[in-house]
Copies of this chain bind each other. A is one copy, B any other.
């Protein structure tokens, strides 16, 4: 029921993702009278779907605390998450209110043992392909231990998403020298250098311009800065697209050039299409929850479902749990880390 448009987008997205992954079946939570008329237009999806009628829906502008009070146990959002907890579904996908989704997911699924705070990981298009950036806004003010957790969870997600054995992980900082930056980041760097983790290669500090370059597979950053960096990049991309549009329409010659180079502009548009990398992954919870952009269309929603599918098929949760266990077994003996 969430997102700026509503069930059309979620149902259209499910239909598209089903074409790519015919083994998915869907539990659709929301108002039956809103869902069923739309679902009737997608007979193949209807065959693989079950509609669960929920009268209460979480509003896009509701405060998380209010959404929890009003929507716990009864709202479509809560029940979709609860289905993951109960093992009825493998992942929940929503384009709804991000704060409410995180609050409900934390409250219902709980964080994994040894994880204090979940993170939201985004997929960032780079010159090398794609990288994972976390946290892009689940919480603000992470300490060194939490940044370390982000590195471990991001590394596990990179293994699941990119199917590589030993992803590289960088800590985003204001310089690459060891003495630079805030205490939490320096301390997290120390923990990561000392940690002995088979599945992860710590690459040291990276800077803001490394994001576009894709210098590492996983960029670790505290949520306040991560969220602002993500939105700054989105804003810059829109700004340049706008410059380009206005420059190309200036004279008949530039317009003719545009027509001839249409294929190139289409390619650029595809590269910059935010729908292609839609899907923020909640990491650190006992279950998979994916947040789709609220303003996306069916194609974007389908991408978010694809991410959920990959995370389930490639065993995201088991990979995270494995890496956390390995780290804690090696670095925290009952005698404390020194004796390990």
User: Would you call A212 and B224 a contact (CB within 8 A)?
Assistant: no
Task: Flag whether A211 is at the interface (Cβ < 8 A).
Answer: yes
User: Contacts A257-B257, A268-B244, A268-B247 hold; do A211 and B224 have CB atoms under 8 A apart?
Assistant: no
Q: What are some 29 contacts across the A-B interface (CB < 8 A)?
A: A63-B179, A137-B174, A140-B174, A140-B181, A140-B182, A141-B182, A207-B228, A208-B228, A208-B229, A209-B234, A212-B236, A212-B239, A221-B228, A228-B229, A232-B232, A233-B235, A236-B240, A237-B240, A240-B268, A240-B272, A243-B267, A243-B271, A244-B264, A244-B268, A247-B265, A248-B261, A250-B264, A251-B263, A257-B262
Closest Cβ–Cβ distance, residue A258 to chain B (whole Å): 6
User: Would you call B174 and A127 a contact (CB within 8 A)?
Assistant: no
User: Contacts A239-B212, A254-B260 hold; do A227 and B267 have CB atoms under 8 A apart?
Assistant: no
CB < 8 Å neighbour of A232 from B141, B181, B233: B233
Which are the 6 A-B pairs with shortest beta-carbon distances?
Answer: A257-B261, A208-B231, A209-B235, A257-B260, A212-B235, A212-B239
Task: Flag whether A203 is at the interface (Cβ < 8 A).
Answer: no
Task: Flag whether A259 is at the interface (Cβ < 8 A).
Answer: yes
Closest Cβ–Cβ distance, residue A99 to chain B (whole Å): 9
Interface residues of A in 195-237 (CB under 8 A from B): 207-213, 221, 223-225, 227-237
User: Would you call A237 and B236 a contact (CB within 8 A)?
Assistant: yes
CB < 8 Å neighbour of A208 from B174, B234, B256, B263: B234
| Nearest B-chain residue to A225, judged by Cβ | B225
User: Would you call A239 and B140 a contact (CB within 8 A)?
Assistant: no
Task: Flag whether A111 is at the interface (Cβ < 8 A).
Answer: no
A interface: dominant SS = helix
| Nearest B-chain residue to A207, judged by Cβ | B231
Task: Please report A residues at the B interface, Cβ cutoff 8 Å.
Answer: 63, 126-127, 137, 140-141, 172, 174, 179, 181-182, 207-213, 221, 223-225, 227-240, 242-244, 247-248, 250-251, 253-254, 256-265, 267-268, 271-272
Closest Cβ–Cβ distance, residue A176 to chain B (whole Å): 11
- Report the separation of the CA atoms of residues A223 and B225 in the bound assembly, to the nearest whole angstrom: 10
| Nearest B-chain residue to A267, judged by Cβ | B247
User: Would you call A254 and B250 a contact (CB within 8 A)?
Assistant: no
- Report the separation of the CA atoms of residues A102 and B263 in the bound assembly, to the nearest whole angstrom: 48
Q: Chain B contacts of A231 at CB under 8 A?
A: 207-209
| Nearest B-chain residue to A244, judged by Cβ | B268
- Report the separation of the CA atoms of residues A220 and B232 in the bound assembly, to the nearest whole angstrom: 14
- Report the separation of the CA atoms of residues A213 and B235 in the bound assembly, to the nearest whole angstrom: 7
Chain B CB count within 10 A is highest, among A174, A179, A261, A272, for A261
User: Contacts A235-B213, A258-B261 hold; do A230 and B247 have CB atoms under 8 A apart?
Assistant: no
User: Would you call B247 and A253 a contact (CB within 8 A)?
Assistant: no
Closest Cβ–Cβ distance, residue A271 to chain B (whole Å): 5
User: Would you call A261 and B253 a contact (CB within 8 A)?
Assistant: yes
